[in-house]
Amino acid sequence: MKRILAGLILCCLSGLAHAADRPNVLFIAVDDLNHWLTHLERNPQARTPNFDRLARRGVTFTNAHCAVPACEPSRCALMSGKRPWVSGCYKNGDKWKNHQADGEGLSAQFLKAGYHVAGAGKIYHSMQHYDNEWSEYMSNDGLKLDGPGVDKMDGYHADVTHPELKDKDLLDWHSVDYCIQRITKPQDQPFFVACGLYKPHLPFVVPRKYYDAFPLESIQLPPHIENDLADIPPAGVRMAGPNGDHAKFLKSGRWKAAIQSYLATCTYTDMNLGRLLDALEASPNNDNTIICLWSDHGWSLGEKEHWRKFALWEETTRTVMIWSVPGLTQPGTRCNRSVDLMCIYPTLCELTGIPKPDYVSGHSIVPLLRDPQHSWDIPAITTHGRGNHSVKTEAYRYIRYANGDEELYDVAADPYEWKNIADRPENTDIKQQFGNWLPSKEVPTPKRNKAK
């Protein structure tokens, strides 16, 4: 720990440290993981001992949010340092490589700084990447994302099981193996190892032992109220899409089965995280390795009559973010300040003494890593499609849609955002203050080729 603290001081203050003196980085991305972790206490059914173990090692951000509630643009924003209204990558299908140049990515900065940069699994959309930004990237040749013969709707809309599925049948197992080899061996240069875990992304398919840990008869539905969309403006109702997945689950009666499958898949991911932590802690690199774990966005399972991501409420914008920085973070601490994933790029640059490119937006959270109670007046901003934004603080969430529709929630008193108070006259000033954080200019939505 003394070594990394000395290295941080030297890197950050003088900028003259050799690459070998810089800390390693284990960069863990998890797909579609909401805040159903045991230590976050959002869902009492969650069983995530290894996420909790990592939280005990450093700082958990309990009010962290995505830049975009969709895989492709969320990852593009984080890895490029550019918000969607700057890059133009707003939604899935916007093809992130059209909005981020080769050499702009976070990994490229570490490569230029003399790091050995290795990646595995889903860091950008799918396993796409720029070869020039990595020393090496794991191939998925011969590997199945979800295992052999897997039905795409297992445990979700249909009652399909795969009793012979093994832990090693899923791609995530092999991504973790690949990363373990690279974080445990002695090296003469620091490493930046990015481990992208697909689960709990659909399909919710993992070995049956993980489902067995959550008997269907014990499953609880998430807190919800009837007619939750009654006070939501038309733009919000369209985004919720209550006649889609939610209507299907109400008709099929599989709401609890879907929750069981999600919990099981999260527990599989927790197992793989434990394998990474076991390997690092047994290695000579443990005391000189920063861990940054994040999920690309949240996931809704019926709250506000909505499923999946693709919305601007708490369950969809909320992400998991845990940092462990030896010599800087205090074990087992929490930070309730509002932050978003745009903080990751500048924070890692500051921690490792790497220059931050001018195009990178977002704010370094090093002051919060050092002191989670440090003053902080910057909200978390989430965008879903051009003109649709959420501004989140510790006290409120404000949503403004492209057509001018608004929502406002007093989240301190209403954590599940059941009461929209945007139409109350006394809240006019609050809405205006939040609106000042939103962009005055946004690049156009990219054109897409129409299907023939």
Residue 131 predicted with pLDDT over 80: yes
Has residue 409 been placed in a domain? no
**Percent of the chain having pLDDT more than 70?**
93
CA distances from 67 to 91, 215, 291, 340 (A): 11, 35, 21, 6
- 267: containing domain: 2-388
Has residue 42 been placed in a domain? yes
User: DSSP readout, 273-313?
Assistant: HHHHHHHHHTSTTGGGEEEEEEES---EESGGG-EES-SSS
Has residue 372 been placed in a domain? yes
* C-alpha 165: how far from chain center: 27
pLDDT tens track for 174-186: 999 999 999 998 8
Has residue 237 been placed in a domain? yes
Amino acid in the structure at residue 305: E
Q: Which residues contact 295 (CB under 8 A, 6 or more apart)?
A: 29, 30, 31, 32, 33, 34, 66, 319, 320, 321
CA dihedral in degrees (98, 102, 108, 113; nearest 10)? -150
Phi and psi dihedrals of 359, rounded to 5? -80, -5
Confidence grade of residue 11 (pLDDT, cut at 50, 70, 90): very low
**How many other β-carbons are positioned within 10 Å of the β-carbon of residue 405?**
18
Q: Return the residue matching tokens 């990394």.
A: 4
Has residue 444 been placed in a domain? no
Label residues 181-217 b or e (16+ Cβ within 10 Å = b): ebbeeeeeebbbbbbbbbbbbbbbbbbeebbeebeee
Residue 344 predicted with pLDDT over 60: yes
Confidence grade of residue 14 (pLDDT, cut at 50, 70, 90): very low
Residue 159 predicted with pLDDT over 80: no
Two tokens, residue 282: 């047994």
Return the H-helix or E-strand segment holding 247. helix 245-252
Q: Return the residue matching tokens 């109350």.
A: 424
Has residue 19 been placed in a domain? yes
d(CA 177, CA 184): 11
71-80 and 344-352 are packed helices; what angle lies between their axes, rounded to 10 degrees?
30
pLDDT tens track for 321-332: 999 999 999 999
Tell me if 440 sits within 8 A of 251, measured CB to CB: no
Coil, strand or helix at 420 = coil
pLDDT tens track for 369-424: 999 999 999 999 999 999 999 999 999 999 999 999 999 999 999 999 999 999 99
Instruction: Give the count of domains, the chain.
Output: 1
Tell me if 345 sits within 8 A of 294, measured CB to CB: no
Has residue 441 been placed in a domain? no
Tell me if 390 sits within 8 A of 317, measured CB to CB: yes
Has residue 450 been placed in a domain? no
pLDDT tens track for 71-83: 999 999 999 999 9
pLDDT tens track for 167-211: 999 999 999 999 999 999 888 999 999 999 999 999 998 999 999
d(CA 205, CA 200): 9
Confidence grade of residue 450 (pLDDT, cut at 50, 70, 90): very low
Give the closest residue to 171 by CA, choosing from 89, 100, 268: 268
Return the H-helix or E-strand segment holding 167. none
Cis bond before residue 203 (omega within 30° of 0): yes
First to last CA, the chain: 59
* CATH code, domain with 11: 3.40.720.10
Residue 148 predicted with pLDDT over 50: yes
pTM value is 0.94
What pLDDT is recorded for position 231?
98
Cite the active site residues.
Answer: 71, 125
